[in-house]
Chain A
Amino acid sequence: MKPIATTRSSMNIATGKLAVWWVLVSEIVIFGGVLGSYIMNRIAHVEWGEQASHTNTWAGAFNTFVLLTSSLFAVLAHQAAEKHDGKKAAQYLYYTCFGGLIFLIVKSFEWAHEIREGFVIQSGGFWGYYYVAAGLHGFHVLAGMLVMLWVADSAKKNQDLHRVENVGLYWHFVDIVWIFLFPLLYIAK
C-alpha cells in the first residue's frame, strides 16, 4: 500500500529518480573523500609512484572497456523500457550485469596476483588507498548488480519499468567513478 505522498510530483520529476540523484550526491562525497585524501597524499609522497608501477595497467584498461560497454547496455535497456518492451529491457540488464561480473573476476585475479607479490593493504602508502578505493568501488559494482537483477526480474513482467532508468543512472555513476580511479591508480606512476 503506497501512500499518496509517493505518487505526488511537485517538482515534475519522478520521486524514485529524484531519490537516486540524492543517493548519487551522497556517493560523490564519499568517493570524493577517499580520492581527495589519496591525491593530497600522493602529491606529498613521490615514492608512491614506484609502488603504483606494480599495478597492471592492461588489466585496468580492459576493465575500463568492459565497464563502459556494460553502461552501453544499461542505455539500451532504458531505451527498451521507454518503448515498454520489458522483456528486452531485462535482457539488456542481464548483459550489463554480465559486464559487472567480468569486471569483478578480472579484479579478483589482479588482487590475488598483487597479494601473492606481497603488496597487501597493510603495506601502507599507495597500497592502502589502492585497496580501499578500488574495494569500495567493487562493492558498489556488486551492489549495483544485485539491484539490477531485482529490477530485471520485475521488468520481465513489464512491471515498474521506470526503475530501469534509475538503476541505469546508478550504474553510470559507478562507471564514472572508475573513470577517475583508473588513471589515478593505474596510469599515474
Chain B
Amino acid sequence: MANHHDTHDHHDGAHAHHDEGWFKKYFWSTDHKIIGFQYMFTGMLLALLGAFMAYVFRMQLAFPGQAVPGWGVVSPGQYNMLITNHGSIMIFWVAMPVLIAGFGNYIIPLMIGADDMVFPRLNRLSYQLFFVSVLLLIASLVVQNGGFGGAWTAYPPLSANKDFNLTPLGSSLWLGAVAVEFVAFLLGGINFIVTAMNARAPGMKAFDVPIVVWTIVIASILFMASVGPLVAGAVMLLFDQLLGTSFFNPNRGGDPILWQHLFWFFGHPEVYVVLLPAMGIVAEVMTVFARKKLFAYKTVIYTIVATGVLSFFVWAHHQFVAGIDPRMANVFTVTTVLISIPIAEMCFVYIATLYGGSITLSTPMLWALAFMAEFMLGGVTGIYLGSSGADIFFHDTYFVVAHFHYTFFPIAIIAVMSGITYWFPKMFGRHMNDFWGKVHFWGTIIPFNGIFIPLFVLGAAGEHRRIFDYHSFPHLATPELQSLRIIATVSLVVMLAFQPVFLVNYIVSMFRGPKADKNPWKANTLEWTADSPPPHGNWAELPNCYRGPYEYSVEGRELDYWPQNEKA
C-alpha cells in the first residue's frame, strides 16, 4: 500500500485543507474516493498473486514434474491449492472489489452529483472488514498443512472433512475469509443502493442516471438477494469442519448436494453481479468515444432488470451431472438458454450505438470494443454448456474452463482496464500514455486468445480440468495435446510479461503524466464537472441535473456534447 500513499501525497495541493496524518487520510478516511482506491489497489495487488498462481500451475501442466522458475517442483497438494485460490482470489478478491466496490465507490457519488455516500462510516467499515478477509485469506495460504485445495466451489465432502482435504486449518480460514468478505460487500451494497436511490442531484430522475450506476446498483441487489443462503451454508459448512456436525455428510443423514444448491444459487447470479458493472463501464466508454446517444437507454435498463431476474433461475445448470432429476435439467436448460436473450440484446444495443458514430480508437475504447468481441465468444460457447445433453460430455473439461475465462477475463480485466484508462484523468488529474496503453492492450488481448483457444480444443478432446499430470492418461498424454498445453502456457507467460507495461505507465502517469483538465473526453456525466482529482466533498457547490446522460451530437447544438448540469 506504500504506492497508494505516495500517489495521493502528490495531490495535497488540491485539497490542502486536510491536515490529518496520512494514516487517517488514507486508511481511516470516510471519503468515498479514498475507499474506492483502497478497494481498487487491494484488488490489483491480489490480482498479481492470482496471476502468479496461474503461472505456476500452467507451467506444471505444460512441463509436468519440472521445477517452475520462482516456485520449484509443484506437488499435487500445492497444485490443488493453487487452482483453488487462483479461482477464489480472482472472483472474490479481484473482480468483486475492483469492479463493484472500487468503481462503485469512486463513481456513484460523483455521477449522481452527491458529495459522498449516504453512510460514510459504514463504507469505511465495509473496507475494513474486506481487509480482514484478505488477512484471513493470506493466513489460510501459509498455515500448517497448506492452503485449501478443494476448488473455489468447495464441494463437500472434500471441503467438509479434514481426512479428505488434509488442510484442516487452511479450509476453515478460507471459508471464514469468504464469509467475512460477503458481510463486507453486503454493507457496501446497502450503501450503494440507498445512495443511488436517495442522494441524487436535484432534478436527476431515475432515467437520468448513467447506465453504469444502474448496473452497479442492480448488481448489488442481485448480490444481496442471492448471497444469504450461501452465508447460511458457509456457517453450516464451518460447523461441519469444526464441530463435527453433519449437514453435508451423507453417512450421517446429511446431503452434499444441498451445498451445491446453496453455492450455485449464489454462484450463478454472481456471474451477473460482476458482468453487469462491466457492461455499464463499456456503455459509458462507447457513447463517449462514438459521440452518440446510447441506443435505447430505457430498453437497456429493462434488459438489465430482466437479466437479474432470470439469473435466479439458472443455477442448476452447474449440476447436470450431480444426479438431479432429468426433468429438472430440462427446465434449467430452457432458463439458461433464455438468459442469453437479454445479454445478446445488450450486445446488439452496443453495436447499434457504435453504428454511424464518429469513433475514436483511444485506449479505453479499444478495451471496450475488445470486451464486446471476447465476451461474445464466451457467451456463445455457453449455449453448448447450458444444454444439459451437451454438458454431460463437456462437464469438468477444459472447454468449461475456456468458456468461463472468456466471460470472466473480459469482465474482470478488459472492462476494468477500459474503466481505469477512462477515469484515470479524473482520479489522478493526469493522462496516461496512449502509446504504451495500446502496446499493453495488444500485448494482453492477443496472448489472451492464445491461452484459451487451445483450451477449447483440449476440452473438446476430453481433457479433464482437475488432473495434475496427464502422464497417467495415455489418450490425453499425446504430443499433439501436449503441444496445445505448451502454446497456452507460453501465451500466458507472454501476457504476464506485458503487464509491467501497464503498471509502469500507471504509476509514472500518476506523477509525470500530462495534466488533465476537468473534462478531457468531452463527456456529459456529472463526474466530469468536478475538479480532476475532485477534493473531499467533490464540488464547492453541488451540481443540479437537467437532462439524461447521453446527449451527444444533438442536432442544432454547436458542441457535440451536452453536460447534464448545463441548464440550456
Tell me whether B194 and A124 are in contact (CB under 8 A).
no
Shortest CB-to-CB span from B262 to chain A, Å, is 6
Task: Find chain B residues with CB under 8 A from A25 CB.
Answer: 224-225
- Of the stretches A11-19, A81-89, A96-104, A151-159, the one at the interface is A11-19
Task: Find chain B residues with CB under 8 A from A183 CB.
Answer: none
Tell me whether A122 and B246 are in contact (CB under 8 A).
yes
Partner of B194, one of A15, A31, A132: A15
Tell me whether A5 and B117 are in contact (CB under 8 A).
yes
Task: Find chain A residues with CB under 8 A from B226 CB.
Answer: 29
Query: A118: CB under 8 A from chain B?
Result: no
Partner of B199, one of A8, A34, A37, A121: A8
Query: B47: CB under 8 A from chain A?
Result: no
Query: A30: CB under 8 A from chain B?
Result: yes
Shortest CB-to-CB span from A17 to chain B, Å, is 10
Partner of B115, one of A5, A31, A32, A33: A5
Shortest CB-to-CB span from A143 to chain B, Å, is 13
Tell me whether B198 and A8 are in contact (CB under 8 A).
yes
User: A10 to B204, alpha carbons, bound, how many Å?
Assistant: 9
**Interface SS majority for chain A:** helix
Check A26/B186 contact, CB under 8 A, given A5-B199, A32-B229: yes
Tell me whether A122 and B114 are in contact (CB under 8 A).
no
Task: Find chain A residues with CB under 8 A from B261 CB.
Answer: 37
Task: Find chain B residues with CB under 8 A from A23 CB.
Answer: 190
Partner of B232, one of A6, A124, A136: A136
Check A6/B228 contact, CB under 8 A, given A37-B258, A122-B244, A122-B246: no
Tell me whether B116 and A5 are in contact (CB under 8 A).
yes
User: A112 to B198, alpha carbons, bound, how many Å?
Assistant: 47
Task: Find chain A residues with CB under 8 A from B244 CB.
Answer: 122
User: A81 to B523, alpha carbons, bound, how many Å?
Assistant: 47
Query: A43: CB under 8 A from chain B?
Result: no
How many chain A residues touch B (CB < 8 A): the figure is: 37
Tell me whether A33 and B246 are in contact (CB under 8 A).
no
Query: B69: CB under 8 A from chain A?
Result: no
Shortest CB-to-CB span from A18 to chain B, Å, is 5
User: A62 to B244, alpha carbons, bound, how many Å?
Assistant: 32
Task: Find chain B residues with CB under 8 A from A36 CB.
Answer: 229
User: A5 to B123, alpha carbons, bound, how many Å?
Assistant: 13
Check A4/B232 contact, CB under 8 A, given A10-B200, A10-B204, A13-B198: no
Tell me whether B115 and A3 are in contact (CB under 8 A).
yes
- Enumerate 20 A-B pairs (CB-CB under 8 Å) in ascending A order: A4-B115, A8-B200, A10-B197, A10-B200, A11-B198, A18-B194, A19-B119, A22-B224, A25-B225, A26-B186, A33-B228, A33-B265, A37-B233, A41-B255, A41-B258, A122-B245, A122-B246, A124-B245, A132-B236, A136-B235
**Chain B residues engaging chain A, CB cutoff 8 angstroms:** 109, 114-120, 186, 190-191, 193-195, 197-200, 204, 224-233, 235-236, 239, 243-247, 249, 252-255, 258, 261-262, 265, 537, 542
**Chain A residues engaging chain B, CB cutoff 8 angstroms:** 3-6, 8-11, 13, 15, 18-19, 22-23, 25-34, 36-37, 40-41, 45, 121-122, 124-125, 128-129, 132, 136
Q: Please name 8 further chain A to chain B contacts, defined as beta carbons within 8 Å, in addition to the given A6-B116, A26-B186, sorted by A numbering.
A: A3-B114, A5-B115, A18-B194, A30-B228, A31-B232, A34-B232, A132-B232, A132-B236
